[in-house]
Amino acid sequence: MGWVNDMALPRSFKRALWVFHIATGSCNGCDIEIVAALTPRYDVERFGIMLTGTPRHADVLLITGPVTRPMLPRLKRIYEQTPDPKAVVVVGGCGSTSGVFYESYNVVGPVDEVIPVDVYVPGCPARPEAIIDGVVKAVAKLETLEKSGVSG
Amino acid sequence: MNGLTSGFGAWNPIAWALLFVGILVVSFIVRSRGNKSYKRGSGQTKVFLSGNEEPADADALHVRGDHLYWGMVDGLSAYYRRVKAWHTGIFSDYVAWFVGVLAVVFVILVWVG
């Protein structure tokens, strides 16, 4: 896979990157693409990128969908529970801009109206390559934070 | 080092003590490499319950082992209510039950047998 080498993964990865996935109101289109990134065709786990079951172990929050009202306090709480340094990646058009749910009665808004976002991965749904690229960009952000000694 | 050899293996206190210390050292090294950057008193030290707030009554979320048998216990709840009342935890009550059941068995054996 040439595009993997283009992203300079071996150079950037000093350790395994654990990712916590949150669906804040997604139609599950982007969620399925995240799962596709884990399948043998893309197999991100060989690079150490792994989905974890708790934000307490996560380096990156991968968020899909616009933020619905029931998910608002939960998203805030999960963000607070993630240890520093952390990076937030929004996957898909809905999380980035609310997409087709823009100004919907039960949608608070895009993710960046609730928590700070580091990387946007556009698409409806976003392709697995784009999701992996977004996570790699989050790695760069994390390394910058670690070098500067900032803990979040 | 002299040790005691038995059918179950060798017992050498010094060797086992050294092994124990070695495991402690390795555990300490692994622990010391953990992430120390979390903020005490913040949400980072709170329990993760799928994003839900931790309820004041933590027992409400406690899933006990006997919850696996909930269906059976609920289905036989009428029986269990009665039987539980008999389980007083007082030894003399249990002895009385034993003597009583023994007397009934004895009477049956004598009359029927």
- Reply yes or no on whether the pLDDT at B102 is more than 90: yes
pLDDT of residue B53: 85
Binned at pLDDT 50, 70 and 90, residue A23 comes out as very high
pTM equals: 0.67
If you ran DSSP here, which 8-state letter would residue A20 be given? E
Minimum CA–CA partner of A81 in chain B = B44
> Is the peptide bond between B55 and the residue preceding it cis, with omega within 30 degrees of 0?
no
Q: What is the tally of helices (H) and strands (E) in chain B?
A: 4, 2
Q: How far apart are CA B7 and CA B70, in angstroms?
A: 45
Region of A104 on the Ramachandran plot (φ > 0 left; ψ -120 to 50 alpha; else beta): beta
Q: What is the mean pLDDT of residues A50-59?
A: 90
Q: How far is A73 from chain B (nearest CA, A)?
A: 8
Could you tell me if A132 and A46 are in contact, meaning their C-beta atoms sit under 8 angstroms apart?
A: no
- Reply yes or no on whether the pLDDT at B3 is more than 70: no
Q: Give chain A positions within 8 Å (CB) of B42.
A: 80
Domains of chain A: 15-142 (3.40.50.12280)
The larger pLDDT score, comparing residue B31 to residue A14, is at B31
**Residue A71 touches partner B, C-beta closer than 8 Å:** yes
If you ran DSSP here, which 8-state letter would residue A14 be given? S
Q: Where are the domains of chain B?
A: 1-31, 65-113
A11-30: b (≥16 Cβ within 10 Å) or e: eeeeeebbbbbbbbbbbebb
Helices (H), chain A: 2-6, 9-12, 29-38, 71-81, 93-97, 128-147
Q: How far is A94 from chain B (nearest CA, A)?
A: 21
Give the closest of B35, B37, B48 to A81, CB-based: B48
Q: How far is B14 from chain A (nearest CA, A)?
A: 38
Does an H or E element contain A107, and which?
strand A107-109
Inter-chain CB proximity B52 and A152 less than 8 Å: no
Interface of A with B in 93-112 (CB under 8 A): none
**Residue B51 touches partner A, C-beta closer than 8 Å:** yes
Inter-chain CB proximity A152 and B37 less than 8 Å: yes
Give the position of tokens 């039950």: B97
Dihedrals phi, psi of A15, to nearest 5 degrees: -155, 170
Q: Give chain B positions within 8 Å (CB) of A55.
A: 48
> What average pLDDT is seen over chain B?
86
Of A7-21, A69-83, A134-148, B99-113, the poorest mean pLDDT is in A7-21
Does an H or E element contain B109, and which?
helix B91-112
pLDDT of residue A89: 93
- CA–centroid distance for B33 within its chain: 32
The larger pLDDT score, comparing residue A84 to residue A128, is at A128
- Reply yes or no on whether the pLDDT at A2 is more than 60: no
Best of A18, A84, A115, A148 to mutate (most B CBs within 10 Å, chain B): A84
Closest CA to A91 of A115, A66, A120: A120
